[in-house]
Amino acid sequence: MKHIISMIFISLLLCVLGVSAQTGGNFLQDIISLKLTGVTITAVEDVPSENFTPPGGKKLTNLPAFIRIAFTSKPTPESNIQCEIWMPKNNWNGRFLGTGNGGGAGKISYGPLVTGVIRGFATANTDMGTSPNAEDAVGHPERWADFGYRATHEMTSAAKAILQVYYKRPALNSYFIACSTGGQQALMEAQRFPDDYDGIIAGAPANNRTHLHTSFIWNLIANNQGQANEIIPQKKINLLSKLVIQNCAGKDGGAPGDGFLTDPRLCDFNFETLPQCLEGIKTDSCFTMEDIIVLKKLYTGPTNPRTGERIYTPLPLGGSKLELSAAHLYLFKWVFGKDFNYRKFDFDRDMAIVDSILAPILNANNPDLSLMKARGGKILMYTGTDDQLVPAQDAINYYERVIVAMGGLKQTQDFFRFFLIPGMGHCGGGSGLNFSQGKSIDLIQDSDYDILSAMVKWVENGIAPDRFNVKTFNCCDSVNRIGFQRPIYPYPKFPEYTGGEPKSPSSFRAVDHIRGGVLSPAAVYLK
């Protein structure tokens, strides 16, 4: 009966969509004959070039012709993982590209699908099983596991099988690229499913998930005691950033006139030196004692009040945008219910409860990547030093633990390299360099800039990236688009100014900075 329904569905698709000969009955019947466990094809479209409007989205333009297949994966009865694969009809480069999501996911991310198909990759994305939003997963623990690790693997396995049917051969190589939650997906794949991808790119990885989200609570409580407004307004955060940069810029490897920090770890800033307001006077040009107390909490980070153990790393110095939002607390609602009140969170007892339930399925903290290395897989990780949402210190700490687990820096860099981008915010933006990937189509063939091109070269030609020439762009100047350029190097190397024109890459050289040097979570919070 189920097979009959599937064939009726195929026939309707063929009639309604008018698919091309290449995607005719044989193709669709071959997909059904795959008998992918728990997978249901929900849409097949033969999309002509130029424009496409995704379900519930805005029109996308300047696209090549491609085949769009949407499918649902149900590895458990509770699961409802939505996925799509877009396959170029005429310019497939022979490769598969898995892409990730952001925040609590809950929908297909179409931007990465667009970028991937334009570049010639058969490209897949998933809602991570949390549609329509992460808070709707309350009471559904299997969906938490889907979000944590299963959805990306399910997407990958089914998408590879589908593309093999369409192209009549498997992908030459498989790659994964994503940032933030997508960075968590990337590292989870490397740790749990090392056979899925040949090259994995993890941007600003939210891999220490439960403790990262606990830092959101810590920061909210520190800077909001129930008043109508935050204790420290954005204007004072801007002032703090200005004072920090005045004190440290040019002393951490960057050029003297930089408006951002190259390596915040080298910035020795004393909050006691901040200009203090006179008693009873509050202005945007000074700090009250209450302000300074809050700032010390924000830049010290969450700790267990009973044991004193560090739960997560603090915010980095020099940032001009304080990321405070209760929208990131969905995983606490999974554990404590929809009425969860972050102000009552116990950083000792409640933290232990959250970790006992969610850490095994959400956190990608395992530094042992020996299986990934053994099969010849490669990993590139990047993050910005001005990331106020997922601080770079946590990525530094994870990489240092990988170095120990893999037997040393050289052994690690043979397959896993890490790039810190001076002044970049979360997955892009910020006050310094901008290494946001997949948004500059005119630069996609430039492996000196583009990390995906560099990964392909590393996997397929054995050439490991030793530097990237990072460009910044002027927002609205079509003539002088490039603001300035600067090289970045694999950690622990940083670009150091040697003199000359600060906007020229030739004015910088690679210098080893200190290893580690960050406030890291206690061992109990690295599980």
Could you give the residue numbers annotated as active site? 180, 387, 426
CB-based contacts of 194: which residues, under 8 Å, 6+ apart? 369, 371, 372, 375, 377
Q: Quote the CA–CA distance of 129 and 124 in Å, as a whole number.
A: 14
What are the tokens at 320? 């001009």
SS3 (DSSP) at 188: helix
d(CA 480, CA 485): 13
Residue 248, classed as helix, strand or coil, is helix
Nearest to 36, CA basis, from 185, 175, 172, 163: 163
Say how far residue 518 (Cα) sits from the centre of its chain: 20
Of the candidates 194, 28, 196, 185, the residue with the CA atom closest to the CA atom of residue 105: 185
Contact 251, 240 (CB under 8 A): no
Q: Counting runs of H as helices and runs of E as strands, what totals does the chain give?
A: 15, 15
Pairing mode of beta strands 66-73, 81-88? antiparallel
The DSSP result for 435-502, as a single string, is: ---SS-GGGTT-TTT-HHHHHHHHHHH------EEEEEE-TT-SSS-EEEEEEE-BTTEEEEE-SS-T
Q: Say how far apart CA 128 and CA 323 lie, in whole Å.
A: 24
Q: Please state, in angstroms and rounded to a whole number, the distance separating the CA atoms of residues 358 and 336.
A: 12
DSSP code of residue 146: I
5 CB-near residues (< 8 Å, 6+ apart): none
